[in-house]
């Protein structure tokens, strides 16, 4: 029987008065009740969503007022509104499930600056605990491996390697749906503040206009079906690995329902990719009912869905969903990263070398388009050089995807991620 779930959409407008207290007390917010016909599961809990939605609405109001103050040349008023926006962003970020582990990693790194390595070893205990708390929401196995390396380096007295592994642990804690747009919004607000200081009012307004798109994402886009499908597929992975076939069947069915919604998206790439994932999901559903072992294939399916959801996050986090045509270079890099990610998944999880090669070819095509745009737009030489290097490395992998290790693919993905975030 299909479960029903009430979805909260917070409308509270009293967060500023609450201040930091909201982080330690239950959220009180008006809610609109909406019935769903399929089970809902998220990396963001209903309480966290309430905080994000409420704070997002308030941030949007402060940014809109700041833009109004820009037009009336009220610099003091603009700065005051941006200060309020920053406070609300602090509230959102402090409540994210990934923040706790990253804060504890920061503490361990700070202790390494003045403590001996034996004294820092106890700092790892709460980090392990934080990772355990995240395991139901997202994969933490890679982060745990890096943390194990931290422990080894600390026992060996090697501070530098311990710091490197701590950084790797933090990087391996995969972001939730709101981590990236929160960071983008912070950067845009900071950019607007810098523009104000140099009296570039138009530039400040443009930065805040883009920030508004990011905040709209925070306040209303958490219900995107891809994110919920991703969370449900992760639950399916855990169900299968635990041998709970009945629960796996239920979670997989619910994931298919959300993927079906995603396949009706207005975005062509999302529509096509979700449709392909549904085909695989239904094949898995049939095999699951027959008692076949689907462990590796359900991992593969989840990773593919995660890659697609990540693409959506990168587009939406800084307003590119609405103004995608304004930055075709960034769009091409996002698409290249998606196909590179798919190639890694197909090769190392799905063991499908031919499909990996096809994905690498698609990634190379988008890099070629990016290179042309960078040349036409006379982008700085550093950007053109980075794209050229990526073109060569991806091209070398097309003929033999297995020539690269998993770490090589990860390094290429990280280069693309860095470019996407800084352009």
Nearest alpha-carbon partner for 192 in 87, 85, 93, 88: 85
DSSP calls for 345-366: HHHHTS--HHHHHHHHHHHHHH
Q: Of 25-34, 168-177, 245-254, 407-416, which gets the smallest average pLDDT?
A: 25-34
Q: Is the pLDDT of residue 31 over 70?
A: no
CA torsion 337→338→344→345, rounded to 10°? 160
Q: What is the mean pLDDT of residues 237-255?
A: 90
pLDDT of 159 reads: 94
- Among 62-76, 203-217, 254-268, 308-322, the range with the most confident prediction by mean pLDDT is 62-76
Q: Is the pLDDT of residue 213 over 70?
A: yes
Classify residue 279 as left (phi > 0), alpha (psi -120 to 50) or beta: alpha
Q: What is the mean pLDDT of residues 52-78?
A: 88
| Residues 190, 154 contacting (CB under 8 angstroms) | no
Render pLDDT for 111-125 as a digit per residue (tens, 0 to 9).
999 999 999 999 999
d(CA 182, CA 127): 23
Q: What is the mean pLDDT of residues 147-164?
A: 94
Give Cα separations from 363 to 45, 130, 282, 378 (angstroms).
34, 35, 27, 22
Tell how far CA 337 is from the center of its chain: 13
| Residues 213, 321 contacting (CB under 8 angstroms) | yes
Buried b (16+ CB within 10 A) or exposed e, 173-182: bbbbbbbbbb
Q: Is the pLDDT of residue 387 over 80?
A: yes
Q: Locate all alpha helices (DSSP H) within 156-267, ordered by sequence.
A: 159-172, 179-197, 201-220, 225-242, 245-262
Return the DSSP state at 405: -
pLDDT band at 22 (very low <50, low <70, confident <90, very high): very low
Looking at per-residue confidence, does 7 or 319 come out higher?
319
CA atoms in the 13 A half-sphere facing the CB of 233: 33
Q: What angle, rounded to 10 degrees, do the helices at 295-316 and 268-290 form? A: 160
Cβ contacts of 403 within 8 Å, gap of 6 or more:
396, 397
3-state secondary structure of 73: coil
Q: Is the pLDDT of residue 169 over 80?
A: yes
Average pLDDT, the chain: 80
Cβ contacts of 320 within 8 Å, gap of 6 or more:
213, 314, 326, 327, 330, 331, 334
d(CA 52, CA 245): 34
Q: Token pair of 91, please?
A: 């509230």
Nearest alpha-carbon partner for 310 in 137, 408, 178: 178
Q: Locate all alpha helices (DSSP H) within 265-327, ordered by sequence.
A: 268-290, 295-316
Buried b (16+ CB within 10 A) or exposed e, 369-402: bbbebbeeeebeeebbebbeebbebbeebbeebe
| Residues 374, 329 contacting (CB under 8 angstroms) | yes
Type and span of the H or E element at 16: helix 15-18
Q: Token pair of 337, please?
A: 């990263």
Render pLDDT for 404-422 as a digit per residue (tens, 0 to 9).
888 889 889 888 988 887 7
Buried b (16+ CB within 10 A) or exposed e, 66-79: bbebbeeeeeeebb
Q: Tell me the β-bridge partners of 35.
A: 6
| Residues 157, 117 contacting (CB under 8 angstroms) | yes
pLDDT band at 51 (very low <50, low <70, confident <90, very high): low
Looking at per-residue confidence, does 78 or 276 come out higher?
78
Q: CA-based Rg of the chain, rounded to a whole angstrom?
A: 22
pLDDT band at 82 (very low <50, low <70, confident <90, very high): very high
pLDDT of 124 reads: 95
pLDDT of 202 reads: 92
């Amino acid at each position: 029987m299909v479960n029903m779930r009430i979805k909260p959409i917070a409308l509270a407008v009293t967060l500023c008065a609450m201040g930091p207290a909201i982080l330690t007390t239950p959220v009180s917010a008006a809610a609109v009740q909406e019935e769903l016909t399929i089970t809902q599961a998220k990396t963001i809990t209903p309480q966290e969503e309430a905080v994000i939605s409420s704070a997002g609405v308030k941030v949007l109001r402060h940014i809109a007022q700041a833009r109004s103050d820009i037009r009336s040349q009220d610099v003091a008023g603009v700065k005051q509104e941006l200060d309020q926006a920053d406070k609300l962003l602090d509230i959102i970020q402090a409540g994210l499930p990934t923040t706790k582990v990253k804060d504890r990693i920061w503490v361990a790194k700070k202790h390494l600056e003045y403590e001996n390595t034996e004294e820092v070893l106890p700092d790892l205990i709460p980090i392990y605990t934080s990772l355990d708390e995240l395991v139901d929401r997202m994969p933490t196995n890679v982060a745990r491996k890096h943390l194990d390396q931290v422990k080894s380096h600390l026992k060996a007295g090697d501070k530098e390697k311990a710091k490197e592994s701590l950084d790797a642990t933090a990087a391996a804690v995969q972001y939730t749906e709101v981590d990236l747009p929160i960071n983008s919004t912070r950067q845009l607000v900071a950019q607007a503040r810098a523009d104000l200081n140099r009296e570039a009012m138009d530039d400040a307004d443009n930065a805040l206009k883009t920030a508004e798109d990011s905040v709209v994402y925070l306040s209303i886009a958490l219900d995107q079906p891809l994110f919920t499908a991703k969370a449900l597929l992760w639950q399916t992975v855990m169900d299968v690995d635990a041998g709970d076939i009945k629960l796996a069947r239920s979670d997989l069915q619910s994931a298919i329902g959300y993927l079906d919604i995603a396949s009706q998206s207005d975005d062509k790439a999302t529509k096509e990719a979700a449709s392909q994932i549904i085909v695989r999901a239904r094949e898995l559903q049939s095999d699951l009912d027959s008692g076949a072992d689907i462990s590796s294939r359900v991992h593969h399916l989840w990773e593919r869905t995660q890659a697609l959801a990540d693409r959506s996050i990168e587009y939406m986090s800084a307003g590119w969903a609405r103004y995608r045509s304004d930055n075709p270079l960034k769009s091409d890099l996002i698409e290249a990263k998606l196909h590179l990610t798919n190639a890694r998944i197909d090769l190392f999880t799905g063991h499908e070398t031919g499909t990996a090669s096809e994905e690498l070819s698609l990634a190379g095509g988008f890099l070629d388009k990016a290179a042309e745009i960078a040349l036409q737009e006379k982008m700085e030489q550093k950007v053109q050089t980075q794209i050229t290097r990526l073109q060569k490395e991806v091209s070398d992998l097309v003929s033999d995807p297995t020539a690269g290790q998993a770490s090589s693919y990860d390094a290429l993905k990280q280069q693309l991620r860095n470019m996407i975030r800084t352009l």
